[in-house]
Amino acid sequence: MLYDILALVLAIFVAPVAGGLLRGVDRRLTARLQGRIGPPILQPFYDFFKLLGKSRLVSSRENLIWAWAYLVLTVAALILFSLGQDLLVIFFMLAFAGASLAFGAFSVKSPYSHFGAYREIMQMLSYEPILLLAAVAIFLETGSFMVADVLSHGGPLLVFLPLAFLAVLIALGIKMRKSPFDIAASEHAHQEIVRGVYTEYSGPFLALIELTHWYELMLILGFIALFWAQPLWLGALLALGCFILEILIDNIAARLRWSWMVGVSWVLGVGLLLANIVIIQVAGYGPGL
């Protein structure tokens, strides 16, 4: 019980702070890679509170409802994760959250917003099979879909699931909306005026979406940490390493077409996972067998 309350506090209050800080690191690191000085690490929080104070400009009421839904459903997924719940349920919840972002963009009559929504859906088509199959691969190693059981599982999963891990990195790139996968909206240093799925959001509701991204980032990094769950600090380091790797890739890659993204995720991502699952099956290890 006490542990559950602690987990809830972590998920609801600590995760966004950590996520915001990581976004600050991201912006600073990106700036350095581009030869700029970059903003202070706390800049995402300054932006967030500034946005909160702006007056509301609204294109449609539904737009706001779905932005709110995006936040609540993402937080719900993170809470499920921190309470050690079922991985597939968490990913289905995350899919609902992602679709809410697209629904919000659809509920305004703006072509840019609609383009973004369709591309957001395409991004989901790309990473969803990877996440689901990664959960299956983890199940085959640990004998359970429950995060709690995966955490208490002894050996480091990364050793047995190296190919699955590579596939999850593709999903991480898409979920972080980093180049070459920032298809639904450009993420790059916010230089573009027309930002696809976010075009119609401003002020407090843009802040809400930014906050959701922080939660989302923590959830997906938490999932990566599961690949080295014992001791957990190693898993955290692993997740941090992947985060920095994504920033590097982001800065050396250009945005590409959606068809390329789906192709890479399905052929490479799903292929790697399938290969890993078959290897587990043939080698016959893991209590799931």
Partner 1 sequence: MPGENLIAVLILLPFAVGLLGLAVRDEKVRRPLVIAASLALMAASVALLFTVLGRGTVTFSPSEAWEMPITILDFAMLAYFLYIGITSRHVLVTALTLGQWVLFPLLKYSVLPAGYEVERVFRVDLLAVVMGLIISVVGSLIVIYALDYMREHEKHLKLSRTRQPVFFLFLIGLLGAMNGLVFANSILWLFFFWEITTLCCYHLIRHDLTSEAQASALRALWMNLVGAVACVLGMILVFRSAGTLALDEISAAGTVGPALLLPLALFCLTGFTKAAQVPWQSWLLGAMVAPTPVSALLHSSTMVKAGVYLVLRLAPSFEGTLLSAAVAVFGAFVFMTTALVAISQRVSKRVLAYSTISNLGLIICCAGINTDLAIAAAIALIIFHAVSKGMLFLAVGAIEQQIESRDIEDMEGLVSRLPLITGAAIVGMITMLFLPFGAVFAKWASMEAAAVPISPWFPLVVTFLAVGSAATLVFWSKWIGRLMSNLIVARKEEKAERRPFFAYGALLVLVSTAVVLSVFIVPLMSLLVMPAGQEMGYGVPFDTSGWQLRTALGTFSPWPLFAAVLVAIVLPALFIRVRRDELQPAYLCGENVAADPVSFRAVADVPVTAATGGVYWQRAFGENQLNNWINGAGILLLAALFAGVMM
At 224, the amino acid letter reads: I
Q: Residue written as tokens 């350095």?
A: 32
Does 87 contact partner 1 by CB under 8 A? yes
Rounded alpha-carbon distances, angstroms, from residue 144 to 100, 136, 179, 191: 29, 9, 34, 44
Among 18, 96, 230, 268, binds partner 1 (CB under 8 A): 96
* Calpha distance 125→144 (Å, rounded): 25
* Calpha distance 86→84 (Å, rounded): 7
Cis? peptide before 231, omega within 30° of 0:
yes
- Span from 32-40, 110-118, 178-186, 222-230 in contact with partner 1 (CB under 8 A): 110-118
Which CB atom, from 42 or from 57, has the smaller least distance to partner 1? 57
* Residue 9 beta carbon to partner 1: minimum distance, rounded to whole angstroms: 17
Binding to partner 1 (CB under 8 A) within 19-38 occurs at none
Among 43, 59, 230, 251, binds partner 1 (CB under 8 A): 59
Binding to partner 1 (CB under 8 A) within 65-84 occurs at 65, 68-69, 71-73, 76
Among 81, 139, 214, 215, binds partner 1 (CB under 8 A): 139
Among 36, 54, 109, 190, binds partner 1 (CB under 8 A): 109
CA-closest candidate to residue 201, choices 266, 137, 288, 108: 108
- Span from 1-9, 92-100, 217-225, 231-239 in contact with partner 1 (CB under 8 A): 92-100
Question: In this structure, what token pair is assigned to residue 35?
Answer: 């030869």
Does 5 contact partner 1 by CB under 8 A? no
Question: In this structure, what token pair is assigned to residue 160?
Answer: 């047995």
* Calpha distance 145→136 (Å, rounded): 8
Binding to partner 1 (CB under 8 A) within 151-180 occurs at none
* Residue 124 beta carbon to partner 1: minimum distance, rounded to whole angstroms: 6
Which CB atom, from 82 or from 113, has the smaller least distance to partner 1? 113
* Calpha distance 9→18 (Å, rounded): 13
* Calpha distance 183→118 (Å, rounded): 10
